[in-house]
Amino acid sequence: MQRIPVAGPWITQREIDYVAQAVGTAWYRSANLFQQRFEAAFAAYIGRRFAIALPSCTSAIHLALLAIGVGGDDEVIVPDATWIATSAPISYVGATPVFADIDRRTWCLSLPSLEQAITPRTRAVLPVNLYGGMPDYDRILEAAARKRIVVIEDAAESVGSLYRGKKAGSFGLASVFSFHGSKTLTTGEGGMLLTDDEALYERCRMLADHGRRKGDRAFWNAEIGQKYKMSSLQAALGLAQLERVDELVARKREIFGWYQSALDRASGITLNAEPDGTTNSVWMVTAVMDAALGWRKEDLADALAADGIDTRPFFYPLSSLPAYADSPQVAVAAKRNLIAYDISPRAINLPSALSLTEDQVGFVCDRLTRLASKKAA
């Protein structure tokens, strides 16, 4: 049986040509040219002054926290429903992740919960554009400014999304993207950090290069840093993908449109939201099953897998993971984050690969509708 993939890229001859060009030419004095071109083009696309190409989005978050000087007694707030890559770097720098609830409609950071989670120790917040959805940035930025908290936008999943006409990646002191193989725009593995703040940019550059300052003599390290660098081959792939970004995002939205029309009359299934003033690039089409249907996401995933349909569970609340079992934040989060704990057990990501056909989506919707009505009966 041919499986219907949950995620995957759209690669054309342009990508193959650029990577071949990088393999053939990006050495000696040209060793960094593709990275420079990719950074400049990505910064221009998002509308930010500076961009740094990195090995992953996880490293981008780590670098941002290091450069801002987060550590020690600091707390950093993250939404409870996200991939652990948002919160793990907070522990890398020795700070404490604090888990806030999500909004019932966007599944992104909830403003009232953020406000509740802020303490005198809060240093930063990482709103996440979950599955391409956008949180209410106007109000989050306003609340953060009032409390003097740094905002780092985790835009890993949201290339092509918009909030009030501004691109995902435009918000906060810094923003970060992932180009993992499952993402809309991919470099296989990779990430990008963006900012408009020149001092932060210079510090990130230095920390990403083993603590070497621009212009210093060779092999002269001012600080202990990281080795966070994207290769030319990845940057060449990213550049080719970026030149097609509008087409990639349009295809994601087209796939979402197929789901919307096929599931239009299916009751008990809620898909990704697109509140007024936002555009959702729908990295992952996601279905939340009504509680009354009684589906657990793991059982639903098994039932679909039996028909060759690959899915992913909606992220488990971070505070429910064994990784955080020892954190004193867990008990608070489990009581406070009622929406994350309500939605997560009954939601799954549906096949969203860029290679999908309308027939495949039709098949997935047919199976899903049948499963929904079987439980309802």
Asked if residue 83 binds ligand PLP (CB under 6 A), the reply is: yes
Nearer to ligand PLP (CB atom), residue 158 or residue 360: 158
Asked if residue 229 binds ligand PLP (CB under 6 A), the reply is: no
Distinct helix (H) and strand (E) counts, the chain = 13, 14
Nearer to ligand PLP (CB atom), residue 128 or residue 134: 128
Among candidate residues 157, 167, 161, 181, the one with its CA nearest the CA of residue 237: 181
Residue 238 structure tokens:
């990213």
Give, rounded to a whole angstrom, the gap between the first and last alpha carbons of the chain.
29
Asked if residue 128 binds ligand PLP (CB under 6 A), the reply is: yes
Asked if residue 85 binds ligand PLP (CB under 6 A), the reply is: yes
Q: Are strands 96-100 and 191-195 parallel, antiparallel or unpaired?
A: unpaired
Phi, psi of 314 (to 5 degrees): -55, 145
Residue 212: DSSP 8-state: B
Minimal distance, residue 157 CB to ligand PLP, in Å = 5
Among 56, 280, 311, 337, binds ligand PLP (CB under 6 A): 56
Alpha-carbon distance of 252 to 132, in angstroms, equals 10
Asked if residue 75 binds ligand PLP (CB under 6 A), the reply is: no
Asked if residue 180 binds ligand PLP (CB under 6 A), the reply is: yes
Q: Which of 183, 229, 252, 297 is catalytic?
A: 183
Q: How many CB atoms neighbour CB 164 within 10 A? A: 12
Asked if residue 81 binds ligand PLP (CB under 6 A), the reply is: no
Nearer to ligand PLP (CB atom), residue 15 or residue 157: 157
Minimal distance, residue 217 CB to ligand PLP, in Å = 33
Nearer to ligand PLP (CB atom), residue 191 or residue 225: 191
Asked if residue 58 binds ligand PLP (CB under 6 A), the reply is: yes
Q: List the alpha helices (DSSP H) in 137-176.
A: 137-146
Asked if residue 78 binds ligand PLP (CB under 6 A), the reply is: no
Alpha-carbon distance of 26 to 189, in angstroms, equals 19
Minimal distance, residue 61 CB to ligand PLP, in Å = 7
Among 178, 234, 241, 344, binds ligand PLP (CB under 6 A): 178
Nearer to ligand PLP (CB atom), residue 86 or residue 170: 86
Whether residue 304 contacts residue 368, with contact meaning beta carbons closer than 8 Å, is answered with yes
Nearer to ligand PLP (CB atom), residue 82 or residue 231: 82
Asked if residue 57 binds ligand PLP (CB under 6 A), the reply is: yes
Asked if residue 80 binds ligand PLP (CB under 6 A), the reply is: no
Alpha-carbon distance of 50 to 47, in angstroms, equals 9
Going residue by residue from 12 to 51, which x/- string records binding to ligand PLP, judged by CB under 6 A?
----------------------------------------
Residue 280 structure tokens:
């959702």
Asked if residue 86 binds ligand PLP (CB under 6 A), the reply is: yes
Residue 190 structure tokens:
């990779």
Asked if residue 301 binds ligand PLP (CB under 6 A), the reply is: no
Asked if residue 89 binds ligand PLP (CB under 6 A), the reply is: no
Active site residue 183: yes
Among candidate residues 329, 261, 281, 360, the one with its CA nearest the CA of residue 91: 329
Among 66, 80, 82, 200, binds ligand PLP (CB under 6 A): 82
Alpha-carbon distance of 31 to 46, in angstroms, equals 25
Residue bearing tokens 């939404």: 79
Residue 185 structure tokens:
């725009």
Among 78, 95, 125, 156, binds ligand PLP (CB under 6 A): 156
The CA-based angle 78-84-87, given to 5 degrees, is 40
Q: How many CB atoms neighbour CB 377 within 10 A? A: 5
Q: Are strands 312-313 and 162-163 parallel, antiparallel or unpaired?
A: unpaired
Whether residue 66 contacts residue 207, with contact meaning beta carbons closer than 8 Å, is answered with yes
Q: Looking only at residues 182 through 221 of this chain, which bind ligand PLP when binding is defined by CB under 6 A?
A: 191
| Binding residues for ligand PLP (CB under 6 A) | 56-58, 82-83, 85-86, 128, 154, 156-157, 178, 180, 191
| Residues noted as catalytic | 183
